[in-house]
Amino acid sequence: MRLRDIIAILLNIALLILGICWGARWYSPMTFIHDFENLRPLFMLRFQRMVTAITIGGSLSLAGLILQAVLRNPLAEPFTLGLSGGASIGAALAFVLGFYSKWVFAVPIGAFLGAISTLIIVLWISRCGRNGTESLLLSGVIAGTIASNVLVQILSFAQNEELAGITWWTLGDLQGTDPRLLWPGVVLLFAALVMFRCMADKIDAIALGEAQAFYLGGNPRKLTVVLVAAASFLAAETVAMAGIISFCGLIIPHIVRQCFGCIHRHIVLTTALWGAAFLMICDILSRCISTQHEIPIGVMTAVIGGPLFLWLLNKQHHA
Amino acid sequence: MNKLFSILLLFALPLMAQEERIISLSPALTELVFKLGKGRQLIARSEPCDYPPEVKKLPVAGRFADPDMERILTLRPTLVITNDLINPGVRTVMENAKIRCVQKQCRTIEEYVEWVKLLGDVLKCPEAAKAECERVEREAKPLPKIKRKVLWVIWDSPLMVAGAGSLADGLLQRVGVENIAGNVKIAYFKSSYDWLLEHQPDAIVWTASKRDNLKEHRFWGNLKAVKQGKVVMLPNNDLVQRPGPRITEGYKLLAEQLRKP
Amino acid sequence: MPDSPNNQTALRADNLSFAYRDRPIVRDFSLTLVPGDLTVLLGPNGSGKSTILQLLAGRLVPQNGDVLMDGAALRKLSGTQRASKIAVVPQAAPPVFGFTVYERVAIGRRARLSPFTKFTEEDEHDIVEAMQIFDVERLADRACNQLSGGELQRVMLAAALAQKPTYLLLDEPTSALDPSHVVNTVQTLRSLLKNTAVLLITHDIELAANAAKRLVLLKDGAVIADGPPDTTLTPENLTTTYDCKASIKPSVSFF
Task: Kindly list the domain boundaries of chain C, sorted by start residue.
Answer: 1-85+167-173+192-255, 91-164
Task: Rank A162-176, A301-315, C5-19 by mean pLDDT and report only the highest.
Answer: A301-315
Contact B42, B55 (CB under 8 A): yes
- Domain of residue A204 covers 3-318
pLDDT in tens, B97-153: 899 999 998 888 999 999 999 999 999 999 999 999 999 999 999 999 999 999 999
Of the partner residues C79, C90, C115, the one whose CB lies closest to the CB of residue A211: C90
Q: CA-CA distance, A202 to C161, in Å (whole number)? A: 19
Cα within 13 Å of Cα(C59), Cβ side: 23
- Residue range C90-103, pLDDT digits in tens: 887 778 888 999 99
Q: Which residues of C touch A207 (CB under 8 A)?
A: 95-97, 99
Give φ, ψ of C216 to 5 degrees: -115, 125
Select from A198, A204, A216 the Cβ nearest to the Cβ of C83. A216
Spatial distance between the Cα atoms of B25 and C90, rounded to a whole number of angstroms: 67
Residue C17, strand partner residues: C64
**How many structural domains are present in chain A?**
1
Q: Do A24 and B198 touch (CB under 8 A)?
A: yes
Q: What's the mean per-residue pLDDT of chain C?
A: 86
Distance CA B17, CA B39 (A): 16
pLDDT digits (tens, 9 = 90+) for A94-114: 777 777 667 767 776 787 788
Buried b (16+ CB within 10 A) or exposed e, B12-51: eeeeeeeebbbbbbbbbbbbbbbbbebbebbbbbbbbbeb
**According to the model, what pLDDT value does residue C245 have?**
76
Among B184, B192, B241, beta carbon nearest to A24 = B192
Between CA C182 and CA C188 the distance in angstroms is 10
pLDDT of amino acid C1? 43
Look up residue A293 and give its DSSP letter. Answer: B
Residues of chain A in contact with residue C116, where contact means CB-CB under 8 angstroms, are 198
Query: Taking the CB of residue A103, how many other CB atoms lie within 10 A of it?
Result: 10
Q: Which strands make up the sheet holding C197-202, listed edge to edge?
A: C86-89, C167-171, C197-202, C38-42, C214-219, C222-227
The residue of chain C with its CA nearest to that of A219 is: C79
Name which of B106, B155, B240 to mutate to probe chain A: the one with the most chain A Cβ atoms within 10 A of its Cβ. B155
Contact assignment for B208 to A161 by CB distance below 8 Å: yes
Cis peptide before C115 (omega within 30 of 0): no
Backbone angles phi, psi at A101, to 5 degrees: -70, -20
Q: Of the given ranges (A80-94, B68-82, C24-38), which has the lowest mean pLDDT? A: A80-94
Distance between CA atoms of residues A129 and A287, nearest Å: 41
A contacts of C111 (beta carbons < 8 Å): 201, 205, 216-217
Tell me the pairing of strands C214-219 and B178-179: unpaired
Split at pLDDT 50, 70, 90, the class of C2 is: very low
C102-120 pLDDT tens trace = 999 999 888 878 778 888 8
At C246, is the secondary structure helix, strand, or coil?
Answer: coil
Instruction: Using alpha carbons, list the distances in angstroms from residue C141 to A255, A256, A257, A262, B52.
Output: 18, 17, 14, 12, 77
Contact A164 B48 (CB under 8 A): no
CATH number where A238 lies: 1.10.3470.10
Q: What percent of chain A has pLDDT over 90?
A: 30
- End-to-end CA distance of chain C: give it in Å, rounded: 25
Interface probe with C: pick from A216, A222, A267, most Cβ of C within 10 Å? A216
Q: How many CB pairs under 8 A join A and B?
A: 96
Nearest to C59 among A74, A214, A265 (CB): A214
Distance in Å, alpha carbon of A254 to nearest chain C alpha carbon: 10
What CA–CA distance (Å, rounded) separates A27 from A36?
A: 11
| Nearest residue in chain A measured CA to CA from B67 | A156
Q: How confident is the model at residue B77 (pLDDT cuts 50, 70, 90)?
A: very high
Residue A43 has pLDDT above 80, yes or no: yes
Any idea of the CA torsion for B108, B109, B114, B115, to the nearest 10 degrees? 80
Q: Is the pLDDT of residue A129 over 80?
A: no
Cα(A252)–Cα(A236) distance, integer angstroms: 18
Asked if the Cβ–Cβ distance from C96 to A211 is below 8 Å, we say no
Q: Which of B170-174, C108-112, C148-152, C189-193 has the highest mean pLDDT?
A: B170-174
Check residue B166 and give left, alpha or beta (phi > 0: left; psi -120 to 50: alpha): beta
Q: What angle do CA A71, A72, A73 make, to 5 degrees?
A: 90
Count of CB atoms situated within 10 Å of the CB of C164 = 21
Contact present, B192 and B214 (Cβ < 8 Å): no
User: How is chain A split among helix, strand and coil, in percent rounded to 5?
Assistant: 80, 0, 20
Please indicate whether the domains covering B15-139 and B149-259 agree at the CATH topology level.
Answer: yes
Instruction: Write out chain C residues lying below 8 Å of A204, CB-based.
Output: 99, 107, 110
Strand order in the sheet with C23-33: C23-33, C11-20, C64-69, C72-73
Which residues share a beta bridge with C13? Answer: C31, C67
Nearest residue of chain A to residue C53 (CA atoms): A215
In this prediction, residue C18 has a pLDDT band, given cuts at 50, 70 and 90, of very high
Superfamily of domain C1-85+167-173+192-255: P-loop containing nucleotide triphosphate hydrolases (3.40.50.300)
Size of interface A-C (CB pairs under 8 A): 77
Q: Of the CATH numbers 3.30.110.30, 3.30.1490.100, 3.40.50.1980, 3.30.43.10, which one belongs to the domain with range B15-139?
A: 3.40.50.1980
Determine the average pLDDT of the residues in B71-88: 89
**C80 in A contact zone (CB under 8 Å):** yes
Q: Please state, in angstroms and rounded to a whole number, the distance separating the CA atoms of residues B240 and B112.
A: 13
Q: Pick the closest to residue C224 from C48, C4, C90 (CA basis).
A: C48
In A, minimum Cα distance to C164 occurs at A216
Chains in contact with chain B (at least 3 beta-carbon pairs closer than 8 A): A
Mean pLDDT (whole number) for B234-249:
91
User: Which CATH number describes the domain made up of B149-259?
Assistant: 3.40.50.1980
Return the higher-pLDDT residue of A161 and A314: A314
**CB distance B197–A24 less than 8 Å?**
yes
The pLDDT assigned to C3 comes to 47
Q: What is the pLDDT of residues B3-55, one digit of tens each?
A: 666 665 555 554 445 688 999 999 999 999 999 999 999 999 998 899 899 99
Chains A and B physically touch (3 or more Cβ atom pairs below 8 Å): yes
* CB distance C165 to C2 below 8 Å: no
Q: Please give the average per-residue pLDDT across A185-200, as a whole number.
A: 94
Q: What is the ipTM of this complex?
A: 0.88
| Amino acid in position A252 | I
Q: How far is CA B246 from the centre of its chain?
A: 9
Which residues in C115-195 belong to E strands, given as ranges? 167-171
Does a cis peptide bond (omega within 30 degrees of 0) precede residue B88?
no
* Buried residues in B55-72 as b, exposed as e (16+ CB within 10 A): beebeebbbbbbbbbeeb
End-to-end CA distance of chain A: 30
Question: Contact, B187 vs B168, CB < 8 A?
Answer: no
Mean pLDDT (whole number) for B68-83: 90
Q: Is A36 exposed, middle or buried (0-12, 13-18, 19+ CB in 10 A)?
A: exposed
Q: Look at residue A164 and tell me whether its pLDDT is greater than 70.
A: no
Residue C4, pLDDT score: 46
Count of beta carbons in the 10 Å neighbourhood of residue C249:
4
pLDDT tens column, C117-144:
888 899 999 999 999 989 899 999 998 8
Choice between A77 and C49, residue whose per-residue pLDDT is larger:
C49
Bridge partners, residue C40, by sequence: C200, C215
Backbone angles phi, psi at C215, to 5 degrees: -130, 130
> pLDDT by residue (tens digit) across A282-300?
999 988 888 888 888 888 9
Q: How far apart are CA A123 and CA A129, in angstroms?
A: 7
Report the C-alpha gap between C36 and C56 in whole angstroms. Answer: 18
Q: Residue A216 in 3-state DSSP?
A: coil
CB C163 within 8 A of CB C85: no
CA distance B39 to A155: 30
Q: Is the pLDDT of residue A62 over 80?
A: yes
Tell me, what's the pLDDT at C94?
Answer: 79
Q: What integer pLDDT is reported at residue B6 of this predicted model?
A: 62
The pLDDT of residue B47: 87
Q: For the segment B196-223, what is each residue's pLDDT rounded down to a tens digit? A: 988 999 999 998 877 778 888 888 998 9
Amino acid at B47: E
C202-217 pLDDT, tens digit per residue, is 888 888 888 888 999 9
Return the HEC string of chain B. CHHHHHHHHHHHHHHHHCCCCEEECCHHHHHHHHHCCCHHHEEEECCCCCCCHHHHHCCECEECCEECHHHHHHHCCCEEEECCCCCCCHHHHHHHCCCEEEECCCCCHHHHHHHHHHHHHHCCCHHHHHHHHHHHHHHCCCCCCCCCEEEEEEEECCEEEECCCCHHHHHHHHHCCEECCCCCCCCEEEECHHHHHHCCCCEEEECCCCCCCHHHCCCHHHCHHHHCCCEECCCCCHHHHCCCCCHHHHHHHHHHHHHCC
Q: What is the pLDDT of residue C188?
A: 86
Find the residue in A nearest to C113 (Cα). Answer: A201
User: Each residue of B91-103: b (16+ CB within 10 Å) or e?
Assistant: beebeeeebebee
pLDDT at C255: 64
Which range is least confidently modeled, A211-215, B73-77, B83-87, B108-112? Answer: B83-87
Residue A315 has pLDDT above 80, yes or no: no
Shortest Cα–Cα distance, A193 to chain C (Å): 13
Higher pLDDT, B121 or A147: B121
Return the closest-CA partner of residue A89 out of A52, A128, A121: A121
**SS3 (DSSP) at A234:** helix
